[in-house]
Structure 1
């Protein structure tokens, strides 16, 4: 017998007077009584029977249930069946109805599921039991169900074959059909590429940025571009063109910048692949504020071509990176944007965290940045305590590390920025002249400036405030970098604070403009750094820290990041997730 032979429509009654609204709008405390009363009145002379189907990873099930009816003189009766695991749940429903029809003459009355009706709940329980205990049913699935199963099998066989050939050729993993989003400063062909400034609001990218091209080449599909601060240069994601991006954990707080739009989408489970970039914490900062993992790879190995109008030929301390809910996603994604350089990084290296040497810095003494708050100090302390307990020997116990360079993190970063090829004042003017700090401040006071106050503050820092002594900063940068690399070697990591405090309230960073230096210092050192989420504080705001390693030791960063995230909570969704 085939399901196509079952003609149930002539029996169906799809309306109930007691159910006029959508199920989500019903009062479940009263609706079951209303339905029960209507069924009793409507089918006073009939025997009520309930049917249901079920499906799980273990197979399919169907059942019918006849409750006791003293007026009709019938006793409780039920039967459950095991159906083909290929069948969809609606086919199992039809089997339950078909078996019921084979026993008695029925009229089929639709009722909403799971509203507390005893008979319906009994049928549901029986259908689930049928998956493992039911009578075997010799009924073939529909053609469409076979077709769906074969499509899945063909896709699985293709993926396995492609992965095998990819490994043989040394090609990175691909992401066929997976959607991805990119921060708006990455050119995506045909989409707006404004960099957050009004002068470029109608500018569309003529071609993909190199990082977008590489991800697209692996089969992923760009579905959106996301908000950035002006020219990617601020700790919040806000501009005069698109406005402000809010933190999904607390909309009154910032997502960070400049990849704040990406982090907000990723944290809210709206983007599986989030393409970012980082020149002063622009990937790691939003990851920290939004409770995500992130990796900023060693500078100089990812192409910036087409990102923030760069040619890709300029020397830079910026890198392309990703934020993600899952630490294990970061290695294959990073390998894609490393392209041919990926072979210089041993991402396949097997790392036992117990063999890693741990160093830590609890807080920096840079007066412009400020000390680390109590919540983040406590988080760091708990991590150190746990790693100490796990240490297999005394030489693996975490050790404190500090260098004079951490007293001048912002100065080190600012000196690094002085070597960058792009000019912030010129880019604000869309490379038609140069924006002037005092002029824009005057315009802002009368409501005529096209820029945010953060952008104007950056103009003052570039054009008015004294610059860093280059000779002193270069020596300090090299001293710190050499000492850090010597200390860490190829098997050590530095646990470092992410910021003075968790996600701040909107606009409050205008009073603390240098807080990003906890991230920025490692851009200037050209060291890889991973951002690790460590669950939430008592206010429901994400906590975290950085894992820093010597150049090209990304695998070490990610192994430790994965271990700490799994131990201390990792990514926690900002909302309840219904499965």
Structure 2
């Protein structure tokens, strides 16, 4: 790069950093004054601090009644949901009856089959795009506001088979593909860490509940960061498994078996829950990931990438680079040594994250434009924008902007995209092998203010590039920034090496304190 080009590049970088700061300042003038705090967790509900695996163990031994747990979760949801606006449908009475049945089984002596159910008696929530019989199935579309599911998704069935109890459905962005959780049917969900900020999308409702001690199990899905982004913004863990290992049947009209970047996953307060929960929904494909494999953290090779130069994406802020360096320093001290310290990694593909994801999204079986109106008719972006400006639209602005993106942006060259994706996979996975991980920056910045993502629509790309790679990744919280918002990193591995991601997540959880919860736990 010539000296002039270097100077121009540096000036552009600082201009964009300044612009981002200006956007934050302007939006803060409105949202900071409207911040609401999540109520502290009462001592009587202290059991909700525990992991789902611990809760199931206590239920099976009779130390804890499933009914008491379900009731505590319901009470906690009712406490926090007026602020979060996360839960959109529930089956509280039916869940309590399910829990009483579990308690009757425990009292009578569990059969071998029931004793082996890993989450017996533990309630779970999931976003509304996951079919649950009798629940609304709108995907946030006004035209589908009266539509209800007639059956459960395969993942819901597998969780029920594992003993878990469906409790509630949570909010999501209209048509899912957005960085906020808002739609015309249910309204907007708020981040428990700062109610003026986005909880992420599309699993924002799940992350908001999890970070508020309001759900033990959060079933999610992820095609562009929809599990990991909300986990990052809200300060909890999120695991996105290797693509193709979880059934998508009953999720956003999927029939299962499609070739896709979409994969189901979980958000959790505790890293220890992620492996056992993934095993449940992976079913007979769980063996491909060998999630029970014993891993010595000192046998893992570490690489890291703390920023790229995708010009669609905001520059990574220093606080995000600093948290990466803290993780690297700790790993160098405890796990490796100076000679084998984590190595910096880069590939040209990371400079084109948005374009690559955009290309592969067009290979997905979903037809966004056909879904838009709910009747299969293909909309015109300009007409839809005009209707929005005249107050005649039942769609969010970001949904309409997505139409412009699909209809007007130049198509990505297929040969270029497929060749670069292959080269990227070959290079990265060749280096990682079966005992290496890549520590990847999560986002240019912490949770943004509501609506500000409209001015920075491509800042999800550090998440979405993982979907392009079809590899596993775990979002790991690593404390807070200077204003108390959660920050962290992603841990990637080669396909089917999910266990490596989870082992590193557990190590970092122990060393950095784990989830950043949105409230305190009262001890008296």
State the TM-score bracket (shorter-chain normalisation): 0.7 to 0.9
Contact 2:114 2:120 in 1 (8 A): no
Shift in alpha-carbon separation, 1:189–1:154, aligned structure 2, 3 A: closer
Residue 574 (structure 1) aligned with residue 518 (structure 2):
yes
The answer for the alignment partner of 1:228 in structure 2 is 172
What is the CA-CA distance between 1:396 and the residue it aligns to? Answer: 3.2
Residue 187 (structure 1) aligned with residue 138 (structure 2):
no
The answer for the alignment partner of 1:336 in structure 2 is 280
Decide which of 106, 109, 129 is 1:155's aligned counterpart.
106
Alpha-carbon distance between aligned partners in 2 of 1:563 and 1:386, rounded to the nearest angstrom:
10
Decide which of 292, 308, 316 is 1:372's aligned counterpart.
316
SS at match of 1:384: helix
Alpha-carbon distance between aligned partners in 2 of 1:511 and 1:247, rounded to the nearest angstrom:
19
Contact 1:356 1:396 in 2 (8 A): no
Alpha-carbon distance between aligned partners in 1 of 2:169 and 2:331, rounded to the nearest angstrom:
40
Residue 256 (structure 1) aligned with residue 207 (structure 2):
no
Alpha-carbon distance between aligned partners in 2 of 1:318 and 1:413, rounded to the nearest angstrom:
12
- Which stretches in structure 1 are left out of the alignment for 5+ residues? 1-85, 87-150, 167-172
The answer for the alignment partner of 1:533 in structure 2 is 477
Contact 2:152 2:250 in 1 (8 A): yes
Structure with greater proportional helix content: 2
Which residues of 2 match residues 5-404 of structure 1 at below 5 A?
155=106, 158=109, 161-162=112-113, 166=116, 173-394=117-338, 396-404=340-348
The answer for the alignment partner of 2:435 in structure 1 is 491
Cα RMSD after superposing both structures: 1.9
The answer for the alignment partner of 1:468 in structure 2 is 412
Alpha-carbon distance between aligned partners in 1 of 2:482 and 2:357, rounded to the nearest angstrom:
33
SS at match of 1:276: strand
Shift in alpha-carbon separation, 1:320–1:158, aligned structure 2, 3 A: farther
What is the CA-CA distance between 1:477 and the residue it aligns to? Answer: 0.5
Alpha-carbon distance between aligned partners in 2 of 1:524 and 1:408, rounded to the nearest angstrom:
11
* Alignment TM-score, normalising by the size of structure 2: 0.78
The answer for the alignment partner of 1:429 in structure 2 is 373
What is the CA-CA distance between 1:281 and the residue it aligns to? Answer: 0.1
Alpha-carbon distance between aligned partners in 2 of 1:390 and 1:452, rounded to the nearest angstrom:
48
Alpha-carbon distance between aligned partners in 1 of 2:157 and 2:165, rounded to the nearest angstrom:
10
Shift in alpha-carbon separation, 1:185–1:489, aligned structure 2, 3 A: same
Shift in alpha-carbon separation, 1:220–1:353, aligned structure 2, 3 A: same
The answer for the alignment partner of 1:543 in structure 2 is 487
* Alignment TM-score, normalising by the size of structure 1: 0.71
Shift in alpha-carbon separation, 1:445–1:359, aligned structure 2, 3 A: same
What is the CA-CA distance between 1:157 and the residue it aligns to? Answer: 9.8
- Which stretches in structure 2 are left out of the alignment for 5+ residues? 1-61, 63-101
What is the CA-CA distance between 1:535 and the residue it aligns to? Answer: 1.6
Shift in alpha-carbon separation, 1:341–1:191, aligned structure 2, 3 A: same
What is the CA-CA distance between 1:391 and the residue it aligns to? Answer: 3.7
Alpha-carbon distance between aligned partners in 2 of 1:437 and 1:564, rounded to the nearest angstrom:
45
What is the CA-CA distance between 1:354 and the residue it aligns to? Answer: 1.5
Contact 1:355 1:396 in 2 (8 A): no
Shift in alpha-carbon separation, 1:427–1:506, aligned structure 2, 3 A: same
Shift in alpha-carbon separation, 1:352–1:514, aligned structure 2, 3 A: same
Contact 1:230 1:455 in 2 (8 A): yes
Contact 1:425 1:436 in 2 (8 A): no
What is the CA-CA distance between 1:435 and the residue it aligns to? Answer: 2.5
Alpha-carbon distance between aligned partners in 2 of 1:402 and 1:432, rounded to the nearest angstrom:
42
Contact 1:230 1:428 in 2 (8 A): no
The answer for the alignment partner of 2:506 in structure 1 is 562
Residue 508 (structure 1) aligned with residue 452 (structure 2):
yes
Shift in alpha-carbon separation, 1:160–1:325, aligned structure 2, 3 A: farther
Contact 2:297 2:335 in 1 (8 A): no
**1:268-304, Cα deviation, whole Å (9 max, x unpaired):** 1111110100000000000000001011001112111
Greater RCO (CA < 8 Å, at least 6 residues apart): 2
Alpha-carbon distance between aligned partners in 2 of 1:572 and 1:520, rounded to the nearest angstrom:
23
What is the CA-CA distance between 1:546 and the residue it aligns to? Answer: 0.1
Q: In the comparison of the two structures, how many residue pairs are matched?
A: 423
Contact 1:477 1:524 in 2 (8 A): yes
Contact 1:182 1:225 in 2 (8 A): yes
**1:394-415, Cα deviation, whole Å (9 max, x unpaired):** 5531100000001000111111
**1:349-380, Cα deviation, whole Å (9 max, x unpaired):** 11111111100001111011122112111111
Based on CA coordinates, which of the two structures has the bigger radius of gyration?
Answer: 1
What is the CA-CA distance between 1:153 and the residue it aligns to? Answer: 12
What is the CA-CA distance between 1:174 and the residue it aligns to? Answer: 2.5
Residue 407 (structure 1) aligned with residue 407 (structure 2):
no
Alpha-carbon distance between aligned partners in 2 of 1:435 and 1:577, rounded to the nearest angstrom:
49
Shift in alpha-carbon separation, 1:210–1:395, aligned structure 2, 3 A: farther
What is the CA-CA distance between 1:154 and the residue it aligns to? Answer: 8.6
The answer for the alignment partner of 1:144 in structure 2 is none
**1:114-153, Cα deviation, whole Å (9 max, x unpaired):** xxxxxxxxxxxxxxxxxxxxxxxxxxxxxxxxxxxxx999
**1:39-89, Cα deviation, whole Å (9 max, x unpaired):** xxxxxxxxxxxxxxxxxxxxxxxxxxxxxxxxxxxxxxxxxxxxxxx9xxx
What is the CA-CA distance between 1:436 and the residue it aligns to? Answer: 2.1
What is the CA-CA distance between 1:159 and the residue it aligns to? Answer: 6.0
SS at match of 1:439: helix
Alpha-carbon distance between aligned partners in 2 of 1:322 and 1:335, rounded to the nearest angstrom:
11
Shift in alpha-carbon separation, 1:363–1:155, aligned structure 2, 3 A: same
